Amino acid sequence: MRKENKKSFWIDPATSRTYPNKKDIPAYLLASGRLQHWDSVLEFKTFQFLEVWFPKVEIRRQKEIQIYPKNKAFPKISWKIDFCLEFPIPIYIEVKGQWLLKDAEKEIFWRTLRGVQDKHPQIFNRLLFTSDKGDWKIPHTNLSVVPLNNLRTHLDSIVAID
């Protein structure tokens, strides 16, 4: 089950109508299967840009990466990256409107990133972070967050290298 945050919303692509709360969505519409859930307006906006920039490339939302498999002591640990551009060598994009403010959330995210770096370097090395807040670095790392208005330039340079 998907956890809804206070900035998440549902959209009906057929009508462009948005619903901030799932409980406000008419039952017939819920049953239709055409609704999309978005964690934030920024994530939705990023998706719209990606569709325009790369119309012939499959864009997978919430691509799940298994970091550690389930074992006798622990459940599996995985991460759902916001977007995967399915080029011959995929590019991964994580949308970060702002840095996590709670220490426990920061720790979990850092450990997740470290797990991806250790277990899936081919994904980690092709992972971009984007935001609408300008250029910044994820605290206590060397990871840069690219402004959404510069994301196309970064993506074009990666695709050109491939």
Pairing state between β 9-12 and 36-38: antiparallel
Domain ranges of the chain: 1-39, 40-161
DSSP string, 37-80: EES-HHHHHHHHHHHHH-TTS-EEEEEEEEEE---SSS--EEEE
Is pLDDT larger for residue 90 or for residue 96?
Answer: 90
pLDDT tens digits along 9-66: 999 988 999 999 889 899 999 899 899 999 899 999 999 999 999 999 999 999 999 9
pTM of structure: 0.83
pLDDT tens-place string over residues 93-131: 999 876 666 777 778 888 899 999 999 999 999 999 999
Q: What is the pLDDT of residue 73?
A: 96
Backbone angles phi, psi at 120, to 5 degrees: -135, 65
Do the beta carbons of residue 72 and residue 40 sit within 8 Å?
no
Are 42 and 73 in contact by the 8 Å Cβ rule? The answer is no
The CATH architecture to which 40-161 belongs is 3-Layer(aba) Sandwich (3.40)
